[in-house]
Amino acid sequence: MNLLNRWCAVLGLVMAWLCVVPQAGAHDAVKEASKPAATSQHRHQRPQLATGAAIAPDGRLWVVGLNAQAQLFVQSTPLGAALQWSEARILNTGADPIAADGESRPKIAFGPQGWAVISYTMPLAKPYTGFIRMLRSSDGGQTFSAPFTVHQDRQEITHRFDSVAFDAQGVLHTLWVDKRDQPPKGSAQKYAGAAIYRNESKDGGQTFGPDTKLADHSCECCRIGLARNPQGQLQATWRHVFEGSIRDHAFASVSAPANRITRSTHDGWHINACPHHGPGLALNAGGHPTGYHTVWFGIRKVNGQDQAAVRYARLNAQGEPLPETLRVLPDARAEHADVLADGPNVAVVWRSSEGAVTSLKVWLSTDGGQNFNLKTLGQTTGYNDHPRLAQSGARMVVVWRNTQETQVHELRF
Amino acid sequence: MNSVFKFTALTICSAALGLSASVVWAQTHQHAHPHGEAKATSKRTVLPFDEKTWVHALQHGPRPAAYLFTTSYCSTCPAAFAVLHKAVQQRKDKPELNAVMIDVTGPQALRHAAHFKGMTHMYAFDGFEPAIRQAVDPAWPNVTPYVVLVDAKGQTQRVIGPPPPLMLKRWLAPS
């Protein structure tokens, strides 16, 4: 065995040397090649910065993401005057590859009885496929289980863009985009988009109920927005493929029978494409009527011209839009907006890039979304994540990660 | 001691194999010939695409040509590329059909090459995505597939989603 080890070490060193010594042939070929203006090799590897954030029952802010070695880590800090981040703790995720880019990010959610869960999409070998994986904790995040697959369906197909949340009764809901209803390849049948599937766990992620369908014909690559209704039940919104290949948004109570949906936006965007730009949803508890705040990206015809924009509107309790509340965010470059609310206080947060510089912006309202004030919270150059929102009662924070730091902005109204 | 040595040996082996694989990819990559024939596809190479690439492609690139900007999660993109492929299938001049991955590079990008039948070159964004995207089109809102058709005169047509027949006809009209 010792001999084998030594042989392996020597072989490794030789291979490493062969790899780093430039090869004359390759060098000549580069000089001779007719290249575009760019260099012939990628200078940048896109960092996996997508991060989840949540406020624990004890008021600490937690974040979950990938480090530079693509390891899943959690970190927490008390909120208040000065942040005091705990040491990043690497979690055991076995050999799972983890999606942590754009709309597909690891997420963390806290429930009752010390329950906490972390979920993420594990891409599979075949493109566009994945499994929703989860780690659970029953001690408030001090320790986490090994990862497990949340859904019962184990086909190598799309199960991606997970969203997780506990309802007011402590039931854990997991929703995801799922392609199990696609007709077989070569079939004459057509199926627009994907589907939204979900399941429930009443014991903090120890056991799960069956996979059930919430809706057919969702968009394939956008996040799902979740919010509680006044009774604490979860409501969902997602980009949907309506009749005629119209990609607007649907709204449903997550416990509703399949396909009992309400159309919550009316951009009329006729497109067969992937916006990768899902909606945000927050309860409008003090509104008349009580309903929801929502933000979304879409393209609609305005005076005969396509107008791409992130828009804000309020919905009634059934998820129908209140047309008079529709507003375009005051930023033509607004991307990946999300919304939080507590009573009359409403915050719409987004990022906005101009070349290499990205700004973090917020629209604040203290009258339930009637009027907003625009503020810039931060700025960075180069790679950065979408803004992530976390809330505990009246306390709202924006978490924004770049390659150098994780900014935390507590919102003051 | 033995376990320490074993661990070290295995670590060195793993690192060497990983490095070897990445360098093999990089060298293949260096050999890529952006203005070559469609053979590039069979070589399975991916070329970097940064803020300057687009200007260069429009000024000095082949005409007619098509560029389909896509992502690793864009399941609607292969169908749009198939529309381009079908449009040029009967033509003798074989306009270039290029796919540009926005969100992944290297082997991760190449995993998607099989989805783009008839692809001449595969590119991948090399740098901060919004900055490169805005260099291509300041009004492009990061929706894929985003298709740019460059005709024989160098005029461009842009569309989100599969290009409609009239656009394809204009693209391939003789100069």
Q: What is the mean pLDDT of residues A15-40?
A: 32
Q: What is the mean pLDDT of residues A377-400?
A: 97
The whole-number pLDDT of residue A41 equals 59
Q: What is the mean pLDDT of residues A72-82?
A: 94
Contacts of B124 in chain A (CB under 8 A): 42
Widest distance between CA atoms in chain A? 78
Q: What is the mean pLDDT of residues A258-272?
A: 96
Q: What is the mean pLDDT of residues A192-211?
A: 98
The whole-number pLDDT of residue A301 equals 95
Find the CB nearest B27 among A26, A271, A356: A26
SS3 B141: coil
- Look over chain B and give the mean of its residue pLDDT values, rounded to a whole number: 81
Q: What is the mean pLDDT of residues A299-308?
A: 94
Is A282:A295 a contact under the CB 8 Å cutoff? no
β-pair partners for B38:
none
Smallest CA–CA distance from A310 into chain B, residue: B141
The whole-number pLDDT of residue B43 equals 59
- How many CB pairs below 8 Å do chains A and B form together? 190
Kindly tell me if the per-residue pLDDT of A241 is higher than 60: yes
Report how far apart the first and last C-alpha atoms of chain A are (Å, whole number).
67
Interface test with A, best of B13, B35, B73 (most A CBs within 10 A): B73
Respond yes or no on whether ipTM tops 0.85. no
Least confident span in A3-12, A32-41, A152-161: A32-41
Kindly tell me if the per-residue pLDDT of B9 is higher than 60: no
**If you count them, how many residues does chain B have?**
175
The candidate with the shortest Cα–Cα distance to A32, out of B47, B36, B55, is B36
Q: What is the mean pLDDT of residues A341-361?
A: 97
Name every residue whose Cβ is closer than 8 Å to that of residue A339 and which is 6 or more positions away in sequence. Answer: A280, A281, A282, A293, A294, A295, A312, A346, A347, A348, A349, A389
The Cα–Cα gap between B99 and B109 comes to 10
Report residue A7's pLDDT band, with 50, 70 and 90 as the boundaries. low
Contacts of A382 in chain B (CB under 8 A): 128
Q: What is the mean pLDDT of residues B45-56?
A: 95
Q: What is the mean pLDDT of residues B71-90?
A: 95
Kindly tell me if the per-residue pLDDT of B30 is higher than 50: no
Please write the tens of the pLDDT for every residue from A129-148: 999 999 999 999 999 999 99
The whole-number pLDDT of residue A367 equals 96
Please write the tens of the pLDDT for every residue from B110-153: 999 999 999 999 999 999 999 999 999 999 988 999 999 999 99
Residue A42 or residue A353, greater confidence = A353
The whole-number pLDDT of residue A11 equals 46
Residue B70 or residue B18, greater confidence = B70
Contacts of A267 in chain B (CB under 8 A): none
Residue A128 and residue B30: Cβ atoms within 8 Å? no
Report residue A81's pLDDT band, with 50, 70 and 90 as the boundaries. confident
Contacts of B112 in chain A (CB under 8 A): 127
The whole-number pLDDT of residue A410 equals 97
